[in-house]
Structure 1
Amino acid sequence: MIRFKETLIRQSSDVIRWLDGTGREGRQNPVLNALQIDLDENLAVKGISLSHKPGVSVIWRAQLPDSEQLQRTEQPGRAAETQMARPAETPYQLKGTVSDPAGQFNPRTFITDCGNNSYPQIALYRSVVGTRLSQNKSLQGRLRYQKQADESEARPASWALVTLRVNLAATGDSYIFNAQADIDGFFQIPVTRLSVAMLTAGFSAELSVKADKTQAGGMFPDPDQMTAMRIALAGSGVFADTLTVLAESKNQRLKLGFVADETRVSTLELKSP
């Protein structure tokens, strides 16, 4: 009796890593939600398909030149190491949109370079509903663009990116926290890993914002294409690159904010540099 062993060689083109960009920078965790990913119909490369696993999407390609084939069947027999080696692939650009049917993460568009298992990383930001807040250590507000003469009311800064930098006086350590506003410009930044004791010992903090003024609220944004804005408390007219964040102790709780009244959600105005 003659036995044959056939080896199927199939290699992925690349693997996209979806990361949670909300909260403390440098501590991004994989996004484990079941995401909806739609690729652009006008991609320069054809024959691309995705398979999804928690936190990643694997890219498969069916149409490549013979010298770059990542999927092929060898002749009967055990494949040698050289036959199983991954061919070099011409890099390409991948475009698309990603959304979370569960609503815990904001939707976004993306453009990333792929090929040769370069493992691109794409950040998603939590929605207001999906954000986990600390009762004593969070910062929230609303963002809108400076009202123009031809506008009846100021437009919300939909999907703007908000960054909070906290510098601790006692240790000299610096921490950065990120969040994304919703379609109405409302944002919540969870300030995790900082105890009330750390903050009461003294700190300085500044807020900065990136946005895209051409971005309509009903369209998917691309956070990576947003640019820095100047920011001011609503009505003050004093714009700067950053805005100072203050702390106030009331009822044995420490609140971060822009005004003395802790019950008020501050409205901030943005304009281009």
Structure 2
Amino acid sequence: MIRFKETLIRQSSDVIRWLDGTGREGQKNPVLNALQIDLDDDLAVKGLSLLHKPGVSIIWRSQLPNAEQLQRTAEPGRATEIQMARPAETPYQLKGTVRDPAGQFNPRTFITDCGNNSYPQIALYRSVVGTRLSQNKSLQGLLRYQKQADESEARPASWALVTLQVDLAGTGDSYIFNAQADINGYFQIPVTRLSVAMLTAGFSAELSVKADKAQAGGLFPDPDQMTAMQIALADGGVFADTQTVLAANQNHRLTLGFVADETRVSTLELKSP
């Protein structure tokens, strides 16, 4: 009796890593939520499908040029390493949208180069309801574009990216924190891993913003395509690339804000440089 053993070799085209970009920079964690990813219909490469696992999406291709297909042999015996090797792909561009049905992360569009397991990383930013705040150590505000003559009211800077850099005088360390505004331009940045003692020893902090003025609030944004804005406090502030952040020590609790006695959400205006 002759027995045959057949082995199926299936290799992924690439693996997308979904990372949480909110909070302290350099501490990105995988997004473990069950995400909904939709690829654009006009992709140049056809036959793509995604297998979703916590934190990653695996890309499979069912249509490959003949030169890139897996090599197969009908000869008896064990397959060689060359025959089992992953075929080289021509890199391609992947476009689509990603949503979090649980609402903990903001939706976004994305464009990334894929192929040959390059492992692209795409950052998602937490929604306001999904943001984990550190007690008394957060920065919040409301972003609006500078009101134009033909506008009845200033437009919210929907989905803008905000970055806070904190430099500690006591240790000389520098920390960067990121967050994304919601559709109404409201943001809150969690300032974690900074104790009140570290801040009371002295610090300097500046806020900067990236946005897309053409981005309508109801559409999904692409944070990677946003550009730097100039920023100022509303009602007569001077526009600059950054806005100084101060601290108010109230009842022995240190609160970050845009003015010395800040106890409310500050409104900031944006304009193109």
Q: Where in structure 1 are there 5+ consecutive unaligned residues?
A: none
User: 2:58 — aligned with what?
Assistant: 58
AA partner of residue 175 (structure 2): Y
CA distance in 1: counterparts of 2:252 and 2:144, whole angstroms: 32
CA distance in 1: counterparts of 2:11 and 2:222, whole angstroms: 30
CA distance in 2: counterparts of 1:263 and 1:207, whole angstroms: 18
User: 2:202 — aligned with what?
Assistant: 202
User: 1:246 — aligned with what?
Assistant: 246
| Shift in Å, 1:73 | 6.0
| Shift in Å, 1:236 | 1.8
CA distance in 2: counterparts of 1:50 and 1:133, whole angstroms: 33
CA distance in 1: counterparts of 2:72 and 2:55, whole angstroms: 30
CA distance in 2: counterparts of 1:73 and 1:201, whole angstroms: 67
AA partner of residue 133 (structure 1): L
User: 2:184 — aligned with what?
Assistant: 184
| Shift in Å, 1:260 | 3.3
Residue 41 of structure 2 corresponds to residue 49 of structure 1: no
Alignment of 1:93-242 (within 5 A): 93-242=93-242
CA distance in 2: counterparts of 1:101 and 1:86, whole angstroms: 35
TM-score under structure 2 normalisation? 0.97
AA partner of residue 134 (structure 1): S
AA partner of residue 61 (structure 1): R
| Shift in Å, 1:171 | 1.0
Partners of 1:158 and 1:182 within 8 A in 2: yes
CA distance in 2: counterparts of 1:37 and 1:78, whole angstroms: 39
CA distance in 1: counterparts of 2:258 and 2:114, whole angstroms: 42
Partners of 1:106 and 1:124 within 8 A in 2: yes
Partners of 1:18 and 1:121 within 8 A in 2: yes
Please give the secondary structure, in 1, of the residue aligned with 2:189. Answer: strand
Please give the secondary structure, in 1, of the residue aligned with 2:231. Answer: strand
Name which of structure 1's ranges 91-100 and 230-239 shifts more when overlaid on structure 2: 230-239
| Shift in Å, 1:263 | 2.5
User: 1:266 — aligned with what?
Assistant: 266
CA distance in 1: counterparts of 2:77 and 2:235, whole angstroms: 77
* CA deviations over 1:145-181 (Å, ceiling 9, x no partner): 0000100000000000000000000111110000000
Q: Which runs of 4+ in 1 moved over 3 A?
A: 72-78
| Shift in Å, 1:262 | 3.4
Partners of 2:248 and 2:261 within 8 A in 1: no
| Shift in Å, 1:259 | 2.0
CA distance in 2: counterparts of 1:264 and 1:69, whole angstroms: 61
CA distance in 1: counterparts of 2:7 and 2:72, whole angstroms: 7
Please give the secondary structure, in 1, of the residue aligned with 2:86. Answer: coil
* CA deviations over 1:4-60 (Å, ceiling 9, x no partner): 110111100000000000000011000000000000000000000000000000000
TM-aligned CA distance change 1:259 to 1:172, over 3 Å: same
User: 2:13 — aligned with what?
Assistant: 13
AA partner of residue 46 (structure 1): K
Name which of structure 1's ranges 259-268 and 43-52 shifts more when overlaid on structure 2: 259-268
* CA deviations over 1:186-205 (Å, ceiling 9, x no partner): 00000011111110000000
Equivalent pairs counted in the alignment come to 272
Q: Where in structure 2 are there 5+ consecutive unaligned residues?
A: none
CA distance in 2: counterparts of 1:64 and 1:244, whole angstroms: 53
Partners of 1:7 and 1:74 within 8 A in 2: no
| Shift in Å, 1:135 | 1.7
Partners of 1:133 and 1:190 within 8 A in 2: yes
Backbone CA RMSD of aligned residues: 1.1
| Shift in Å, 1:2 | 1.5
